[in-house]
Amino acid sequence: MVNVVCQTDVIKYMLMRPITRGRIGKWTLALTEFALQYVSKKAVKGQTLADFLTDHPPIVAKGGMVEVPLVGLTPWKLFFDGSKMEQATGAGVVLRSPEGTKTQVAFQLDFPCSNNQAEYEALILGMGLLLGLKADTVEIIGDSQLVIKQLDGEYQCESEHLVEYYAQAKKLIEGFQDMAVRHIPRSRNQVANDLSQVASSIGLPEGSLERTIVIKRQTRSSILEDSQLEVNHVKDTQPDWRMPITQYLSSPRPEFERRIRNKATGYMLIGGDLYKKGKGGLFLKCVSLNEASLIMAEVHEGICGAHQTGPKMRWLIRRHGYYWPTVAVDYVRHAKGCWAC
């Protein structure tokens, strides 16, 4: 018996036609030797839900409460690494939830152990944290080829110093419903590696079990804050093209040249600043040529972009609302003259 799933009962349509011809007739004749059964999409969806509940039955907890396990397609991810130095040994653990939330923990191992033992310590500590969070599906990721291959069964654990660690790790793995291991290079496990090195390089005070390290974000340079330097101050050394238009708009008089009067119709004074009337009612702030050089440098290689091309620079300058008469020529010359491009 073959189930045919489709939106309409095509089998009934083909077999109940009084006259069949062409391709439909050939297909009908070819299908008569099979035992076909039409199944609607709704029936398939219902069976899928039934199969899902069979694979994930509810758990009856104490007190008669029914607990439904949380099932997700994205597993928890455990990144681990160990580091051994002369002064101490550290373990770094990074947990990433299915929603993408990261938790970073560093442990300082205050007992003698080798580098491979430190790797296992980081793994066991990380799995203990996941079991405390009731994680069911876990992907274990590390850069220690020895530990990953032993967990995967490709390598056998024959070292007497690692047998107990291996047995403890396999015991913890049984607490997860689904588990996968993956080996990655150290460059992709940098966060866990940095945590382990920090834990192995920073000493703890005598008698304390933890140490708090405060990391603050500094948004301004300490030198600039102390000296109160003025940044991006440019003294104009070229004639200001805005001056004639600004003077005419401030006090229109017939003594001004006709060229200035005609040009001023495309500008407007707002709060003492000159603005160019753009398309769609957009006003672009007019800047001097020296200020334009600073704007082009910032757009080309500053925070606005990384060595933008000429047309992209023009788009960015207009987007930020700046204008000067020779902008169409200056941005191309500036991009071509950049030595780093």
- Please report how the helices 327-336 and 310-319 are oriented relative to each other, as an axis angle in degrees rounded to 10: 130
> What's the confidence (pLDDT) of residue 319?
78
Q: Are residues 50 and 101 in the same domain?
A: no
Spell out a b/e string for 230-249, using b for 16 or more CB atoms within 10 Å of the CB, else e. Answer: eeeeeeeeeebbbebbbebe
Q: Which residue has the higher pLDDT, 338 or 190?
A: 190
Q: Are residues 99 and 195 in the same domain?
A: yes
Q: Are residues 29 and 81 in the same domain?
A: no
What's the average model confidence in pLDDT over 332-341?
Answer: 67
Q: Are residues 85 and 46 in the same domain?
A: no
Whether residue 319 is contained in a domain is answered as: yes
Above 60 in pLDDT, residue 341?
no
Q: How many domains does the chain divide into?
A: 3
Q: The tokens of 318 are what?
A: 């207009």
Mean pLDDT (the chain) is 78
> What's the confidence (pLDDT) of residue 45?
54
Question: pLDDT (tens digit, 9 = 90+) per residue, 196-253?
Answer: 888 888 777 777 777 677 667 777 766 655 444 344 444 555 678 888 888 888 888 8
Q: Are residues 197 and 89 in the same domain?
A: yes
Q: Are residues 104 and 31 in the same domain?
A: no
Q: Are residues 36 and 83 in the same domain?
A: no
Q: The tokens of 127 are what?
A: 């799995």
Above 90 in pLDDT, residue 71?
no
Whether residue 141 is contained in a domain is answered as: yes
| DSSP letter (8 states) at residue 75 | P
> What's the confidence (pLDDT) of residue 59?
59
Question: pLDDT (tens digit, 9 = 90+) per residue, 171-181?
Answer: 999 999 888 99
> What's the confidence (pLDDT) of residue 234?
47
> What's the confidence (pLDDT) of residue 230?
46
- What contacts 325, CB < 8 A, 6 or more positions away? 241
Whether residue 208 is contained in a domain is answered as: no
- Residue 126's pLDDT band (boundaries 50, 70, 90)? very high
What's the average model confidence in pLDDT over 124-138?
Answer: 92
Question: pLDDT (tens digit, 9 = 90+) per residue, 12-41?
Answer: 666 555 556 677 677 777 777 777 666 665
Q: Are residues 90 and 44 in the same domain?
A: no
Question: pLDDT (tens digit, 9 = 90+) per residue, 259-308?
Answer: 888 888 889 888 888 998 887 778 888 988 888 888 777 776 655 445 56
Residue after which a domain boundary falls, among 167, 201, 235: 201
Whether residue 59 is contained in a domain is answered as: no
Question: pLDDT (tens digit, 9 = 90+) per residue, 49-68?
Answer: 566 666 666 655 555 555 55
For the chain, report the end-to-end CA distance as a whole number of angstroms.
Answer: 68
Determine how many CB atoms are found less than 10 A away from the CB of residue 8: 9
| In the block, residue with structure tokens 């991810």 | 77
Most confident stretch, 113-127, 187-201, 290-304: 113-127
CATH code: domain of residue 280: 1.10.340.70
Residue after which a domain boundary falls, among 151, 186, 201: 201
CATH code: domain of residue 178: 3.30.420.10
Whether residue 306 is contained in a domain is answered as: yes
> What's the confidence (pLDDT) of residue 231?
44
Whether residue 232 is contained in a domain is answered as: no
Whether residue 290 is contained in a domain is answered as: yes
Range of the domain at 35: 2-54
Per-residue CA distances from 151 to 29, 41, 133, 244 (Å):
56, 42, 22, 80
Nearest residue to 286 (alpha-carbon basis) of 249, 332, 240, 253: 240
What's the average model confidence in pLDDT over 161-190?
Answer: 92
Q: Are residues 81 and 46 in the same domain?
A: no
- What contacts 156, CB < 8 A, 6 or more positions away? 150
Q: Are residues 165 and 125 in the same domain?
A: yes
Above 70 in pLDDT, residue 106?
yes
> What's the confidence (pLDDT) of residue 209?
72
Q: Are residues 197 and 108 in the same domain?
A: yes
Q: What is the distance between the alpha carbons of residues 176 and 130, in angstroms, rounded to a whole number?
A: 9
The share of the chain scoring above pLDDT 70, in percent, equals 69
> What's the confidence (pLDDT) of residue 171?
94
Whether residue 81 is contained in a domain is answered as: yes
| Alpha-helix residue ranges (DSSP H) falling in 99-242 | 115-132, 145-152, 163-173, 190-201, 222-227
Q: Are residues 48 and 112 in the same domain?
A: no
How many distinct helices (H) and strands (E) make up the chain?
A: 13, 13
